[in-house]
Amino acid sequence: MTDAPHIPVLLDEVIAAIGPRPGMTIVDATFGAGGYSAALLDAGARVFAFDRDPDAIREGAAMVAHYNGLLSLHPHRFSAMRHELARLGVAQVDAVVMDIGVSSMQLDQGDRGFAFMHDGPLDMRMSQDGESAADFLNTADEEAIANVLYRYGEERQSRRVARAIVAARPLVTTGELARVVRRALGHKPHDKKDPATRTFQAVRIHVNDELGELEAGLAAAEALLGEGGVLAVVSFHSLEDRIVKQFLRAASGAGRAVSRHLPGDIPGPPPTFACLSKGIRPTEGEIARNPRARSSTLRHAIRTGAATRSLAA
């Protein structure tokens, strides 16, 4: 219904995994421009959508009116989905869909400071409050910056980049940061990938605690889903996908090592998820239509009737 500047990735595959229909209650944990929500609502489902970005909540108001009570928007981190829905008297849902990471709208708005394609303030905050990228890079010591770049950006020359950042402070804009990183790493115009990409990813993940939020959100979804409910998660880089994969393996019991040399081995808790999918990647056709889909991976699984692990312990 909208001319949204964001194309939902792996939409057909997500919808096929969830199978939305009238009477279902579904959480869209990352509302964004509402692409997933619209498809779920058009199938007749009731959708509770979460987004910590106030711009997404404000711009989604027209959708709330259009769907006449089937859609509600919640300006919270998705890790709060269980507590927020409990406050509303909703104890269980039939599906949770999560599209992890930064949205196209955030990347394309230079004044949000998420990308170096548009020079703007060095911000990167999804919720538009708290510590900004500039706050972190202009106050943290060299070791702390290097650790963030290595852990979240997998930047092999993290110490060199961190040293250059500290020497160039204060940094105010995304363009300044990109130029510092390129000089430090010897950027060549013909390089396929801009060397600043890894630094921007790392700082964004750190500022928004994206991986911690993902872990908390997966646990919240496990507690909120009813038996037979579907968890569908779209991720965009290896750090996210690894967390999702490890979570589902542990929740299904597949990741538990049992030694045949230990008689009387104590079994772990009953699995809370089953029917784990393999990583589903976009087709060449989708990548041609939406190049940002290239790195995406969908994993989904079905909730069993076992008690939530944290509650069963």
Same domain, 17 and 57: yes
Per the domain annotation, does 232 fall within a domain?
A: yes
Same domain, 217 and 93: yes
Same domain, 219 and 307: yes
The range of the structural domain enclosing residue 131 comes to 106-208
Per the domain annotation, does 4 fall within a domain?
A: no
Over the stretch 71-122, which tens digit does the pLDDT of each residue have? 999 999 999 999 999 999 999 999 999 999 765 555 556 567 567 777 899 9
Q: What is the pTM of this model?
A: 0.90
Determine the average pLDDT of the residues in 194-219: 95
Same domain, 275 and 138: no
Pairing relation of β-strands 297-303 and 225-235?
A: antiparallel
In the chain, which residue ranges form alpha helices assigned H by DSSP? 11-18, 35-42, 54-59, 61-66, 81-87, 104-108, 133-139, 142-153, 158-168, 174-185, 196-208, 210-224, 238-252, 284-289, 309-312
Predicted pLDDT at 260: 53
Work out the pLDDT band at 17, boundaries 50, 70, 90: very high
Which of 185, 208, 231 represents a domain boundary (last residue)?
208
Per the domain annotation, does 1 fall within a domain?
A: no
Q: What's the CATH number where 28 sits?
A: 3.40.50.150
Over the stretch 21-80, which tens digit does the pLDDT of each residue have? 999 999 999 999 999 999 999 999 999 999 999 999 999 999 999 999 999 999 999 999
Contact 247, 298 (CB under 8 A): no
Encode burial over 270-287: b for 16+ CB neighbours within 10 A, e otherwise.
ebbbeebeeebbbeeebb
Which of 174, 208, 242 represents a domain boundary (last residue)?
208
Which of 208, 226, 249 represents a domain boundary (last residue)?
208
Tokens 């880089």, located at residue: 237
| Range from 135-144, 223-232, 270-279, 303-312 carrying the lowest mean pLDDT | 303-312
Same domain, 154 and 215: no
Same domain, 216 and 299: yes
In 154-283, which residue ranges form alpha helices assigned H by DSSP? 158-168, 174-185, 196-208, 210-224, 238-252
Give the residues across from 49 on adjacent strands.
Answer: 28, 73
Same domain, 114 and 166: yes
Same domain, 92 and 215: yes
